[in-house]
Amino acid sequence: MSKRTALKLRIQQFFAQLTQGCGRQHCPNENCASNSTIKQLSCDEAAVQAIHLASSKAELCSENHRSKIARTDASDSIEIRMNINDKKGISSADSSTQTIQPEQVEPNKNTNCRPNGVYSFYLYIFKEVFWDSSAKMSVGSSDVFSPKDLLSMAEINFADDLLDILEDQSKEDTVVEKETASEKSVSKKPDPQTVPYLPTVDVVFFRTLFARISEDAVLETVLHESLVKLVNLAEKAICTNPNEYKSDPNYLNMIVILLECPLLQSPESLEEMFPKFLKIVAKLPLAANVALAHHWSRYDGAQLKNVIETIQQLIAYQVAMHYLDQTDLVAHEDQRIIDASKCLNILFFASILGGEVDRTVDEKGAAEAQSMRNAPREEEAEFHLGLMDVAQLGTELKLTKLDSVAPLVPRVEFVNEALNDVIKIDKDYANYRVSQQGSNKFSFLHYQFLLTTLNKTTYLFYDNRVRIERRRTLMSSLFAGSAINPFLKIQVRRTHIINDTLVQLEMAAEDLKNLRKQLYVEFDGEEGADEGGVSKEFFALMVEEIFNPANGTFILVEESQLFWFNPQSFEGLMQYKLIGIILGLAIYNNCILEIKFPSFVYKKLLGRKARFRDIKDLHPVIYQSLCSLLEYTGDVEDDLMLTFQVEHQDVFGCTHHHDLKEGGVNIPVTKLNRQEYVDMYSDWLLNTSIEEQFNAFLGGFELVLSQSPLKYLFEASELELLLCGSEHYDFNALEESAEYDGGFTKDSQTVKDFWSVLHELSDEEKKTLLQFSTGSDRAPVGGLAKLKMILAKNGPDSDRLPTAHTCFNVILLPDYKNKKKLRELLLKAIKYSKGFGML
C-alpha cells in the first residue's frame, strides 16, 4: 500500500471513529464517539480533527472494535470532503471510504468555533471554503450553482488573524513571511470608475497560506483533492450556465485564488486540471477579462512570467502529444490551445497595462500622410476592422500593443516556438477571412503576440496575394478574355535611376492597387528576365543613391553613424514620398534594404511620436546633456542660463534659432520647468523640425501599405527586421539548411571544402559572401537557415570564378581540385562581384 493510500485510509478511519464511534461501550479513547465523556462533534469539526489526528500519528481504537463501525448506503450520500486522491485527480473506489449524508453538510459560519493553532486553522479554511461549498454544489440537481457558495473568499474576514498566527509561529519554525513589493502593489485599490468590479482577494494572505501548506504533505494532499473537485464543478457549471459569470463578480475571486496556488501550475496538473481552469477563464465575459487584466497588471513581472510559462508549457505539451501520437494537429481547432491563447491574451494586456505605456498617437502626421496619398480612410479599414471585432479587450482597455514602451513581461515570452512550427498558416488565414464575415472561427491572427516574426511575414504574404487574386478574378469577370498584368513593371536607366523611378511610380500610383503587385524591373539596354535578382539590384542601387550625402536628402549623424531627415533639404517632398514607396515595395517584394535609420523611425512609421528616450539612438551626446540637466542639483537658472529657445546649424554651417514656445527666448529654464524643456526640445528635434519631410515619407510608405495588416501584425522592432534584416549570423544553420544540385552532394569534396573555407573567413568576408550570393549582407527574418542556399556544380575543375544567381540564392562552383584553389578564386569572386558574376 502506498504512503498516500495509507494516509487516505487513516483519515477515513479517524473520521468514522469521531462521528460513529468504534462500537464499544464506554470506550476510553478520547478521540472516539463511543466515549460518553467527550462532546459530540459536528461533521465539520470531525473532518478537521480527523486530518489533525492522522498527521500527528494518534492511536486508533483497536482493530476489533473498529470493524463494528456501521456502514452507510453510498447511493444516498456523498463522499467525505477530505478524500485524498492521486495527484492526477483520479478518485479511489476504496470500499472503506466513509460518507456523509447530504443533509449533514452545511457551511459552518460560526467564527467562534474556529480550531486553535495554525495547522487546524488551515483545515478550517479548507472546510469553510472548499469542502462545504463543493458539497453543497454536489447535493441534488435542483441546487442552484452560486459563486458565493463556490468560493466566497472575499467575505473571509479572518485573514489578518491568520497572518498574526503565522507571524508568531514563524519565530519557532524560523520561517519568515514578508510582503514583497509586488504583493504590496497588488493590494492597491484601483479607481472604481475605471473598472466596474475587481477581484477583492487578499493575495498576500493566499500566497502565504499556500506557501505554508506546501511544507506539509497532509495539507498539500487535501488541497489538491479540493482543487480537483472545485475545478471540475466550476467547469461543469460554466458549460451549463455561463451567464452566472456575468452577474456575480465572486467568480473573479475564484480565478485569482486558484491561479495563486502552485499545485494548479504543477506538471501533474497539465493533463487535466490546468486545462479545465483555462477553459473556465476563456469563457469569462468581456467585463471579467477587463477586471482580470487590471488586477494582474498590478502584479510583479516575475509573477506574471511564471503563469505565462505554465500556459506555454501546456501549449507545448499539446503539440508534443500530437507528435507522439502521430496525429495531425490542427492548432486553430485544438480547444486547449484556443483556451490557452485566450488566457494569454488577458495576461498580454495586463503586462502592457502594468508596464510603461505611451498612448500618444501622431494624429497630425497620420492626417497629412493621408492627404499625401489622396486615399480615403475607408480603403484601409477592411483588415483592422476585422481584428477590432475580436480585439475587444484592447478596445475596452483603450490600449494597443503599440502603446507599450516597457511591458512587465518581455514580448518574447508570449511567443511559442513549438506552436508556430505547427500552425497551418494558409488554413488559419482562411479562418480569419471567414471570421470577418461574422463567423466565430478561431484564428491566430487575432492573437498576434503568439506568432513569430517569420509567421507574421507569411500572413502578410497571404494577405497581399489574396487581394491580388481577388482583384484579378473581379476584372476577369467584368472584362472576359482580357489579360491582367500581375506585375508592377518599371524600366529605368542606371544613370538616372531616381528620376526614372519617380516618374513611373507616380504614374502607377494613380491606381494604388498597382503598387501592391509584384515588382518587375528592367534596366534600359540590358537583357535578362527579372526573377528576383534584378529587383534586388534595383533596390540596392536606389538605396545607395538615396542615401548619398551629396544629394542632401538625408544627413549622416557622425556620432551615431545613422541617417536622419534633412530639414533644410533642397529636394522636393516628392523625393521623400518616393523613398517611402520604395520601403513599402521592398516589404511586399521580400527584399532587404541596407538602410541605417535610428530604430524609432519605425515606431514613427507605425503612427507613434518619438520621445526623449529616443534621442539616445541618434544623438547620444545631446541625450547625455539633457540627462545631466534633469539631474543637476545646483541653481539651474543662474548656472546653466538656458532659455526655451534652441540654436542649431544646418548642413552649410548657418546658425538658426527656434522658440520651443511663444516668446521662448525670454523664458528661462528653471528647476521647476526643466522637464517641460526637455520634452519640448525632444519633440522639436525628432518630430516637428522634420515634420514636412517625414510626413511625405510616411505618405509614400502608406501608399503601398494602406490596406495591409502591417500595423496590426508587427511591432516597430519587427518592422525594422522586415526591412533591414538581421545582423545576427548563424552560418552553421546556413550549412545545415543548404541544398545541392548539378551533381554535388553533401559529401562531395568541393562542398566540404567550400564550407570549411566559409567558416574560416572573417566576419566581413562572410557578409560579403552573403551579398555575393543573395544580393544582401543581412540575414532575413527567421535567420540564415531561411535562405536555403543552393550549391550547384558548374563543370569540372577550371580557373573560372564562382558565380551566383541571387534571385535563387544559388552559388555555381566548378569542381575545384583542392581547397586552396577554391579559397583563392572564391575570395576573388566576392571581392570584385559588383557589376558581374551576379545574375
The pLDDT, as a whole number, for residue 48 is 65
Q: Is residue 11 part of a domain?
A: yes
**Pairing of β 790-793 and β 562-565:** unpaired
Residue 19 lies in a domain: yes
**What count of Cα atoms within 13 Å lies in the side-chain half-sphere of residue 95?**
0
Residue 804 lies in a domain: yes
Q: How many CB atoms lie within 10 A of CB 540?
A: 19
- Residue 641: how many other CB atoms lie within 10 Å: 9
Question: Which pLDDT belongs to residue 368?
Answer: 55
Burial of residue 239 (CB within 10 Å: 0-12, 13-18, 19+) is: exposed
What gap in Å lies between CA 647 and CA 658, rounded to an integer? 7
Note whether residue 664 is domain-resident.
yes
Residues 615 and 658 in one domain: yes
The better pLDDT of the pair 359, 640 is held by 640
**Is 748 a residue whose pLDDT tops 90?**
yes
CA pseudo-torsion sign 84, 87, 92, 96? negative
The residues that bridge with 556 in the sheet, in sequence order, are 563
Is residue 702 over pLDDT 80? Answer: yes
Distance CA 109, CA 113 (A): 9
Q: What is the mean pLDDT of residues 558-575?
A: 88
- Measured CA to CA, the distance from residue 320 to residue 74 in angstroms comes to 41
Long-range contacts of 411-417 (CB under 8 A, 24+ apart): 411/449, 411/715, 413/305, 413/308, 413/309, 413/312, 414/308, 414/344, 414/347, 414/348, 414/449, 414/450, 415/449, 415/450, 415/451, 415/452, 416/312, 416/315, 416/316, 416/450, 417/452
The answer on 614 and 701 residing in a single domain is yes
Lowest-pLDDT choice from 17-21, 31-35, 93-97, 757-761: 93-97
pLDDT tens, position by position, 283-319: 888 888 888 999 999 999 999 999 999 999 999 888 8
CATH number at residue 652: 3.30.2160.10
Structural domains in the chain (count): 3
Distances in whole angstroms, Cα of residue 120 to Cα of each of 31, 44, 113, 162, 785? 16, 12, 11, 11, 60
Strand boundaries in 566-694, DSSP class E: 645-649, 655-659
User: For position 130, what pLDDT does the model report?
Assistant: 47
614 and 669 in a common domain: yes
Does residue 807 carry a catalytic annotation? yes
Beta carbons of 789 and 734 less than 8 angstroms apart: yes
Domain-located, residue 370: no
Q: Are residues 800 and 691 in the same domain?
A: no
Range of the domain at 758: 725-832
Flag whether the pTM goes above 0.85.
no
Q: Under 8 Å CB-to-CB from 568, ≥6 apart: which residues?
A: 650, 651, 652
The fraction of the chain above a pLDDT of 70, given in percent, is: 73
Residue 598's SS3 state is coil
Quick one: average pLDDT of 571-588? 88
Among residues 22, 343, 591, 807, which one is catalytic?
807
732 and 686 together in one domain: no
Dihedral sign (CA 45, 51, 55, 61)? positive
Residue 518 three-state SS = strand
The reply to whether 564 and 711 lie within a common domain is yes
- The pLDDT of 500-513, averaged and rounded, is 83
Looking at the structure, tell me whether residues 657 and 689 fall in a common domain.
yes
Nearest to 805 by CA among 816, 815, 794: 794
694 and 764 share a domain?
A: no
Q: Give yes or no: residues 570 and 669 share one domain.
A: yes
For strand 790-793 and strand 810-813, is the pairing parallel, antiparallel, or unpaired?
parallel
Write out pLDDT tens, residues 635-676.
999 999 999 999 888 777 788 899 999 999 999 999 999 999
Q: Which ranges in 241-328 belong to alpha helices (H)?
A: 244-247, 250-260, 273-282, 286-296, 301-324
